[in-house]
Amino acid sequence: MRYLLLLLAFVLSACETQQPANAPALRVDQVLGAEPAAGFARAFAPRSFRFPEDHGAHRDYATEWWYLTGNLQTASGRHFGYQFTLFRVALRPGEALQDSAWRTQQIYMGHMAISDIAAARHYSAERFARAAAGLAGARVTPFAVWLGPWSMRAGSELFPLTVAAQHEDIGLALQLQSGDKPLVLQGERGLSRKSATPGNASYYYSFTRLPTRGELRIGDTVYTVQGNSWMDREWSSSALDSDQAGWDWFSLQLDDGRDLMYYQLRTRQGEAHAFSRGSLVGTDGAVRTLLPDQVTLTPLHHWQAEDGARYPTRWRLQVAELQLDLEVQALLDDQLMDHSVRYWEGAVEVSGSHHGSGYLELSGYAGHSPSL
């Protein structure tokens, strides 16, 4: 998922808290169109994952992330969505100069968001730090990924995982349990190919249903919440192919206990790219791959952002052979992440043949003029 997005961190104007109002919106395809610098490791073939080592950073690859999303509720049923992501970006391949403890080739970017569905408000924040002098980094045992005061921490195992992130008007203090679902290797034994070009692939694994409890803060109000989270781990040195414009990514937790992930890579003509992929994780943890010719995705409703970009926030997702006919509806239209990289990421509810909840990510729409 979130395949590549992040190379963008290069481009960022360097803000820790807020994007300057006049910063140019970035188009994902433009930024990612270029080949990554030579010298980075590439994902050519499936690898044998080793844990807990692979929960830590893979500094030879250009980008990497620890990606959490989830739907949480208070005891009284108030619904919140959250996203908490720490991205690692290698600015240059190879080892840094040794002239100062502050010198590094690697930086971290953090995104945090809370969707307060009842109040129809979406809050988000962004942070950066260099992976040096202890300001940001990742460690295998005891597990930790941190960016200033934002962190995911655990012991010798990845779970229970403690999430701590406070920003001006929002904050997260959550604990994630491993639950019943196993680690899922996406794609071909964890190798997720994004195009026909060799090396345009990532290593990608997920934890699709993580029982979560803890506290959410909005302003001075703290909500005690529980629910389920989804974690994606992915690293690569990929670029978008020239015919790819962006992607629509779904992570859905169905009430019957099954979890569905599907990303549709879009061509410049707006059609599904042949390398779109998905997986359905059964209640027993068995994984079934989904190919584009098995899945029908139809946008039902668009929300138009201030910059004119139109985001499809209601979808019909059909997998005929699995008798899935789902309507995926954003719980809030405006869940735009308007930071150094502009994309839409938000909580959704699932209805139709099955019910459930999940997260939807839409990228590659910013900067495209509406087709009307």
Tell me the sheet residues that pair with 316.
Answer: 298, 327
Number of residues that bind other proteins (CB under 8 A): 37
Return the structure tokens found at 287: 């994984």
How far apart are the C-alpha atoms of 253 and 208, rounded to whole Å? 8
Query: Residue 188 carries which side chain, given as an amino acid letter?
Result: E
Return the structure tokens found at 300: 């039902």
Choose between 33 and 270: whose C-beta lies nearer to other proteins: 33
- C-alpha distances (whole Å) from 358 to each of 129, 168, 259, 261 are 30, 26, 9, 10
Q: Is 31 helix (H, G, I), strand (E, B) or coil?
A: helix
Choose between 97 and 196: whose C-beta lies nearer to other proteins: 97
Where residue 219 falls (left for φ over 0; alpha for ψ -120 to 50; beta otherwise) is left
Decide if residue 355 touches other proteins (CB under 8 A): no
Cis peptide before 36 (omega within 30 of 0): no
Q: Is 311 helix (H, G, I), strand (E, B) or coil?
A: strand
Return the structure tokens found at 368: 């495209």
User: Using CB under 8 A, which of the segments 9-17, 222-230, 266-274, 300-308 binds other proteins?
Assistant: 9-17
Residue 255 CB, nearest approach to other proteins (Å) = 35
Choose between 164 and 287: whose C-beta lies nearer to other proteins: 164
How far apart are the C-alpha atoms of 277 and 58, rounded to whole Å? 24
Choose between 167 and 310: whose C-beta lies nearer to other proteins: 167
Looking at residues 105 to 144 of the shown chain, list those that interact with other proteins (rule: CB under 8 A).
Answer: 105, 107, 128-130, 132-135
Residue 202 CB, nearest approach to other proteins (Å) = 20
User: Using CB under 8 A, which of the segments 48-56, 62-70, 94-102, 288-296 binds other proteins?
Assistant: 94-102
Choose between 149 and 370: whose C-beta lies nearer to other proteins: 149
Tell which residue, 359, 110, 114, has the closest CA to residue 215: 114
Q: Which residue among 71, 104, 229, 264 contacts other proteins (CB under 8 A)?
A: 104
Looking at residues 134 to 193 of the shown chain, list those that interact with other proteins (rule: CB under 8 A).
Answer: 134-135, 146, 148-149, 164, 166
User: Using CB under 8 A, which of the segments 14-22, 44-52, 176-184, 322-330 binds other proteins?
Assistant: 14-22
- C-alpha distances (whole Å) from 219 to each of 26, 156, 222 are 30, 34, 8
Tell which residue, 78, 141, 139, 89, has the closest CA to residue 111: 89
Choose between 91 and 287: whose C-beta lies nearer to other proteins: 91
User: Using CB under 8 A, which of the segments 99-107, 190-198, 267-275, 356-364 binds other proteins?
Assistant: 99-107
Tell which residue, 261, 162, 243, 167, has the closest CA to residue 207: 261
Cβ neighbors of 221 (< 8 A, separation 6 or more) are none
Tell which residue, 300, 306, 311, has the closest CA to residue 249: 311
Choose between 113 and 347: whose C-beta lies nearer to other proteins: 113
Site string for other proteins, 29-68 (x = CB under 8 A): --x-------------------------------------
Residue with tokens 């690898």: 47
Residue with tokens 């188009």: 27
Residue 7 CB, nearest approach to other proteins (Å) = 9
Choose between 126 and 349: whose C-beta lies nearer to other proteins: 126
Return the structure tokens found at 343: 């994309």
Choose between 49 and 123: whose C-beta lies nearer to other proteins: 123
Q: Which residue among 44, 100, 198, 274 contacts other proteins (CB under 8 A)?
A: 100
Residue 209 CB, nearest approach to other proteins (Å) = 28
Binding site for other proteins (CB under 8 A): 10-18, 20, 23-24, 31, 91-92, 96-97, 99-105, 107, 128-130, 132-135, 146, 148-149, 164, 166
